[in-house]
A and B are shown apart, each in its own frame.
Chain A
Amino acid sequence: MTLNAALFLDHENLVPLIEELGKTLEVVAPVYAEGEPVFATWKGEPLALDADNPLNSPVEFFLPQKEVLFKYVQCSGRYTFQDVPPKSRLILGMRPCDLQAIKVLDEIFGTELPDHPYASKRMSTIIVALNCTSPGERCFCAQMGSGPAAEEGYDLLLTDVGSGYLVESGSPAGMFILRAHSHHFEEALPEHLKEKERLLSLAEEEITNRRPALTPEEIRRAIDETDWGEVEKRCLRCGGCSLVCPVCHCFSVMDRGVPDGERLRCRDSCVMAGFSRMTSGANPRAALGERLRHWYLDKFVYIPEKTGMLGCVGCGRCSSVCLSEIDRWSILREAIE
Chain B
Amino acid sequence: MSTAVAVTRFPVPEESRRTSFVGMVMALASWTMLFVALFFAYAVLRLRAPAWPPDGLPPLPKALPFLNTLVLLTSSVVLHFGVRPEAEEKPGALRRALLGALALGSLFLALQLAVWVPLWRSGFRIDTGTYGSIFYSLTVFHAVHVLAGLVALAVLLPGAFSGRLVSGRASTVRLSAMFWHFVDAVWVVMFVAVYLV
Q: Is B a genuine binding partner of A?
A: no
